[in-house]
Structure 1
Amino acid sequence: ASKLATHEGPCAKGCQTALEYALITAPEARDPELVRLLDAVAGRVLGK
């Protein structure tokens, strides 16, 4: 995790888009508290 603080730009292997094609629970079935907790890592995708 310490290396992430100095990393700039997108991942050379495409990590920043890993969730684009992931199977994600339908919005109406999501636990609102869990969505809140996941916001930092998946907010861009869960907000769709």
Structure 2
Amino acid sequence: MRIAEVLKPLTPEQARIKSMQAQVRQAQQRVKAERIRQQQMKLNQQRSKLSNV
């Protein structure tokens, strides 16, 4: 990447795309975290069932 490319401000279209890409990455992280949370809840429920037996 050249220095001139870094110093140029983004066009509105480029800024919109960059913003959308950031939103996608954040949504992917939230989905991953939710899946992990659900897996942990399922494991905790299984543990409690085993401990009650």
- The normalised TM-score by structure 2 is 0.28
Q: Which has the higher contact order (CA 8 A, sep 6+)?
A: 1
Q: In terms of Rg, which structure is larger?
A: 2
Decide which structure has greater helix share. 2
- The normalised TM-score by structure 1 is 0.29
